[in-house]
Amino acid sequence: MKKTILITGGAGFIGSHVVRLFVNNYPDYKIVNLDKLTYAGNLTNLKDIENKPNYEFVKADIVDADAMNSLFEKYQFDGVIHLAAESHVDRSIANPMEFIFTNIVGTVNLLNAARAIWKDNSEGKRFYHISTDEVYGSLGETGFFTEETAYDPRSPYSSSKASSDHIVRAYYHTYKLPVVVSNCSNNYGQFQFPEKLLPLAINNIKNNKPIPVYGKGENIRDWLYVVDHVRAIDIIYHKGTIGETYNIGGSNEWYNISLIHKLCEIMDRKLNREPGTSAKLITFVKDRAGHDLRYAIDSSKLQKELGWKPSLKFEEGMEITIDWYLANEEWLNNVTSGAYQKYYDNQYINR
Ligand code: NAD
Ligand code: DAU
């Protein structure tokens, strides 16, 4: 093996796609997937690659500094792709502390552990921090987030990610740690946990349950197919300039309510229902506190400098995603049993 790469949060939604691409495309790399396996982590997401010789899983908590130091000492990682995080805005509103620990303290622990093993020679090493467009705050009707947009996070989740972004850059400036950062817009695709809008709505439509739309559904998000995000991660990890930040986005803005109507149309077709059947499930519910109005990413730096662009049209990505959720009923049933029901009741029923 030429290089040993640590991927954190590899049992989650985006992380599992990153692990899959790196294990399959880089047989010379040993890929170590570190994950605490919270409610969002699921090793069945990686069934197809778990027996590959260049893959290893380690169950650990990034908040545990001693564990991180020992792990880095043992494996002498050449690179880190850091995705482990608490990732759901609504959960951060209900319970911010978990976000402070994992997203901020956990990131600092990884930076310290990398710094310790790379202090004498950081040639060819790389610490890649995966972040979100939510750090930039909320846009009005016009404009886009660029890499120069001032940070203005407005939820406990986005502010914890913003803090970690700042600390990652501070380690570059202060200690010359070879870091690179990217900030991406909303992802959708296979293996996304059904607390997020699209898989939650797919699951509810399938089960003839109300589709909860916050406020009037007027908020806007820029949607990107997860595999296109992961292609960008591959390019940035290998070709991005140390110390730089790259914005990643789909140039694909949708009002939430229009997105849900589109989803309902496709679901009616796939489930052989009369057109208009699923849309009857749309239910407007109490808005999210501090709900950001609009996110939209300008990804021209990544496109011009590193040659990335989204490969899939949104309609194609939606077809693939919906087909996957409908074909993987067991996965959906497993992740929505037990603790999920309690979360769902607190978030949507007992408010
Ligand atoms: P996810 O919630 O699906 O997965 C997070 C993973 O991190 C899970 O496997 C979980 O078990 C693991 N984890 C959580 N706390 C941990 C801890 N203390 N120690 C070790 N592992 C822990 O999240 P996701 O949607 O795949 O997001 C992954 C990353 O990408 C996050 O950093 C998120 O901020 C960022 N991001 C997400 C999106 C999106 O649309 N989902 C967009 C841009 C950026
Ligand atoms: O922009 C990137 C971010 O996208 C990531 O950093 C986050 O990890 C990811 O969760 C996502 O954040 P959002 O808050 O935009 O995603 P979510 O799927 O929770 O919500 C999308 C939109 O849909 C948002 O405007 C809130 C709304 N919504 C969400 C849920 C769960 C509803 O109207 N009803 C719902 O039940």
3-state secondary structure of 247: strand
Domains present along the chain, CATH in parentheses: 3-188+222-248 (3.40.50.720)
pLDDT attached to residue 66: 98
| DSSP-derived secondary structure letter, 3 | E
- What is the Å distance from ligand 1's center to 335 Cα? 16
**Whether residue 157 lies in the annotated active site:** yes
Q: Per residue of the chain (351 residues), give pLDDT as tens.
A: 689 999 999 999 999 999 999 999 999 999 999 999 999 999 999 999 999 999 999 999 999 999 999 999 999 999 999 999 999 999 999 999 999 999 999 999 999 999 999 999 999 999 999 999 999 999 999 999 999 999 999 999 999 999 999 999 999 999 999 999 999 999 999 999 999 999 999 999 999 999 999 999 999 999 999 999 999 999 999 999 999 999 999 999 999 999 999 999 999 999 999 999 999 999 999 999 999 999 999 999 999 999 999 999 999 999 999 999 999 999 999 999 889 999 999 999 987
- Residue 1's pLDDT is 64
pLDDT in tens, 40-90: 999 999 999 999 999 999 999 999 999 999 999 999 999 999 999 999 999
Alpha carbon of 239 to ligand 2 centroid (Å): 30
Under 8 Å between Cβ of 129 and 180? yes
Which residues have CB under 6 Å of ligand 1? 8-9, 11-15, 35-38, 40-41, 61-63, 83-87, 102, 106, 130, 132, 161, 184, 186-187, 193
Task: Give whole-number Cα distances, 134 to 16, 267, 293, in Å.
Answer: 22, 29, 11
pLDDT at res. 255: 98
Let me know if 134 is a catalytic residue. yes
CA dist., res. 98 & res. 91, Å (int) = 9
- 133, 147, 165, 253: the catalytic one is 133
Q: Are 133 and 247 in contact (CB under 8 A)?
A: yes
Q: Which atom of ligand 2 is nearest to the CA of 220?
A: 25
Predicted local confidence at residue 338, as pLDDT: 83
In this predicted structure, what is the pLDDT of residue 327?
97
Q: How many CA atoms, within 13 angstroms, populate the side-chain half-sphere of residue 302?
A: 30
Catalytic residue (one of 136, 157, 171, 246):
157
Q: Which structure tokens are listed for 218?
A: 């007027």
pLDDT tens figures, 230-271: 999 999 999 999 999 999 999 999 999 999 999 999 999 999
Instruction: Give the closest residue to 107 by CA, choosing from 164, 178, 36.
Output: 164
Q: Among the options 35, 78, 90, 134, which is catalytic?
A: 134
146 CA distance to ligand 2 middle (Å): 20
pTM for this model (two decimals): 0.98
Dihedral of CA 314/247/238/1: which sign? negative
Q: Which residues make Cβ contacts (< 8 Å) with residue 265, sequence separation at least 6? A: 275, 278, 279
288 neighbors 89 (Cβ within 8 angstroms): yes
Residues with C-beta less than 6 Å from any ligand 2 atom: 87-89, 132-134, 185-186, 196-197, 200, 212-214, 219, 221, 256, 288, 295
